[in-house]
Amino acid sequence: MSASLTAEEIPPGRRIAILASVVLGSTLYATTLLVASTLLPQMQGTFAATPDEIAWTTTFNILATAIATPMTGFLVARFGRRRTMLFCVGGFTVATWLCGQAESLETVVLWRIVQGAIGAPVVPLSNAIVLDTFPRRQAGLVSSIFGMTVVLGPVIGPALGGVLAETYNWRWAFYMIVPAGLLATVALRFTLPADKPGAQLPLDWLGFLALATAIACVQLVFSRGQRLDWYESPEIMLETGIAVLAFYLFLAHSLTTRFPFLNLRLLLNRNYALGLVLVTIYGMVNFTPIVLLPSLLQSYAGYPDSIIGMIVGYRGIGGTIGFGCTLLIGRWDPRIGLVLGFGLLVVAGLWLMSLDLNVAVDTLLANAMLQGVAVGIIWVPLTVMTFATLESRHLPEAMALFHLLRNIGSSLFISLSVTEIVRSTTTNYSRMTEMISPYNKVLAVPNLMGGWGTETLVDLARLGREINRQAAMIGYINAFGLFTAACGTAMLFALLARRGERPG
């Protein structure tokens, strides 16, 4: 655990208190990741901003999180786990309060940047603390408890934040986090054992700045690509070029310097390298259905917000069941849990691909629960397998890269899925409207048209709207196909891992 106490030396009661404290802190941070997405319409009205301008409140928060996450290992080596954790949770709480107090768009963007940057080390550092606080035999149990924060936090945040914003205003979605953040800070102060900083290595500024630049440009491409029509935009082309150049510089420098910002030699560990691939795919498939389904159901199937909220809630219930299942699955080979979890996601994806715009609520609820069970099952064996053969002294740095790739995978796949929906909708609408022509004799047969007409402008408008709905549905089915293919690929990678014990 630290230079002062090992896992076996910490009393059981204190272990539980440490677990509760870090779980509370990481849950709060995970809750804020997507909470702003439900507040954008209200915030846009408050600040009289355009859609592009208000989107920066989310974009810059993601950027700050992505850039600061790799700093976790350096901060722990320089200041120790306890001081780093206290500063990050406390600073994140203050920044969250200031987000709610903001009176201008520039101010709220500034505090969202501070919130993302200060809070970024919380989740990877919490994960490392949990793994080192408990004995190796209890890794599966505590990983399942901690994993609920990673999966359920982003589900709870938008749902609860949306209710508070509707009842009061958007500021209360930030205020609700502050009391729990203060409680977590105090609890961490009294539960975490004192530890000594590690080796006082100098910060590799060149490696850090190169990686930060590459990540920032990649995130900007993902966040603004769809809005700017991707590589039709000079901005996207410039950001892509800078990202490639900065990433090449980071790799070349990291492989040749004595003290790199991130130790790429950790990738020589087979399980860790496979774990990074799998956690990237896990990030890709975890949040994508939550983002895609609400827009499909609201815009094209006519479902009210209350039903959509219920569907998201059932996914959370399924996640809780999945984490409960890991109490049994944790005793098995981690590869079994990974194949089972991703296999269930393949089933859920194939099920989504079979839906149409007349889908019943019960079907959506059952599918959402199946997704929740699957993502709940995956997290514990994924964490155990990834770090099973890695030395404890590498955990903070390794965890930072682990969670960084999870976030990048999520952002990447959501952007790709939205792009596929827009592309496929446009293409299929053009192809189907080609059939609406005076030369198509089928249109003159009333029994074959099913009540649709082409005689008046009103009839043509109705038919055009229906064609657009069906074209959009094809686009969503294609996106669900990408989701299913990614899950199937992860099953194959999971089989390449090996069992092993993590060295002390």
For residue range 230-277, what is the model confidence (pLDDT) as tens digits?
A: 888 899 999 999 999 999 999 999 888 887 877 888 888 888 999 999
pLDDT tens across 337-390, in order?
A: 899 999 999 999 999 999 888 888 899 999 999 998 998 888 888 888 888 788
Taking the C-alpha atoms of residue 371 and residue 262, their distance in angstroms, rounded to an integer, is: 34
**What was the pLDDT predicted at 434?**
78
Which amino acid appears at position 90 of this protein?
G
Q: Which two tokens stand for residue 351?
A: 């099920």
Two domains, one topology: 1-202 and 263-416+476-504? yes
Given a contact cutoff of 8 angstroms between Cβ atoms, the answer to whether 503 and 271 are in contact is no
Mean pLDDT over 131-151 rounds to 74
Taking the C-alpha atoms of residue 24 and residue 27, their distance in angstroms, rounded to an integer, is: 5
Mean pLDDT over 153-161 rounds to 71
Q: Cα-atom radius of gyration of the chain, to the nearest Å?
A: 24
Cβ neighbours, 10 Å, residue 179: 10
Where is pLDDT greater, at 310 or 345?
345
Domain covering 1-202: architecture: Up-down Bundle (1.20)
Q: Where are the domains of the chain?
A: 1-202, 204-260, 263-416+476-504, 424-475
Overall pTM > 0.85: no
Taking the C-alpha atoms of residue 239 and residue 402, their distance in angstroms, rounded to an integer, is: 24
Is the pLDDT confidence value at 500 over 60? no
**What was the pLDDT predicted at 52?**
64
Where is pLDDT greater, at 251 or 14?
251
Which amino acid appears at position 57 of this protein?
T
Mean pLDDT over 460-472 rounds to 83
**What was the pLDDT predicted at 179?**
93
**What was the pLDDT predicted at 496?**
86
Choose the CATH number for 263-416+476-504 among 2.60.120.960, 1.20.1250.20, 3.20.20.60, 1.10.3720.10.
1.20.1250.20
Query: Mapping DSSP to helix (H, G, I), strand (E, B) and coil, where does residue 262 land?
Result: coil
Q: Which two tokens stand for residue 252?
A: 């070349």
Mean pLDDT of the chain: 82
- 11-20, 38-47, 91-100: segment of lowest average pLDDT: 38-47
Given a contact cutoff of 8 angstroms between Cβ atoms, the answer to whether 23 and 146 are in contact is yes
In 123-157, which positions are buried (b, 16+ CB within 10 angstroms) versus exposed (e)? Answer: bbbbbbbbbbbbeeeebbebbbbbbbbbbbbbbbb
The confidence band for 503, taking pLDDT boundaries of 50, 70 and 90, is very low
Taking the C-alpha atoms of residue 6 and residue 4, their distance in angstroms, rounded to an integer, is: 7
Taking the C-alpha atoms of residue 228 and residue 212, their distance in angstroms, rounded to an integer, is: 23
Given a contact cutoff of 8 angstroms between Cβ atoms, the answer to whether 30 and 157 are in contact is yes
**What was the pLDDT predicted at 277?**
93
How far apart, in Å, are the Cα atoms of 84 and each of 3, 91, 119, 125, 319?
15, 10, 10, 9, 30
Which amino acid appears at position 414 of this protein?
I
Quickly count helices (H) and strands (E) in the chain: 20, 0
Taking the C-alpha atoms of residue 202 and residue 426, their distance in angstroms, rounded to an integer, is: 53
Q: What percent of the chain has pLDDT over 90?
A: 22
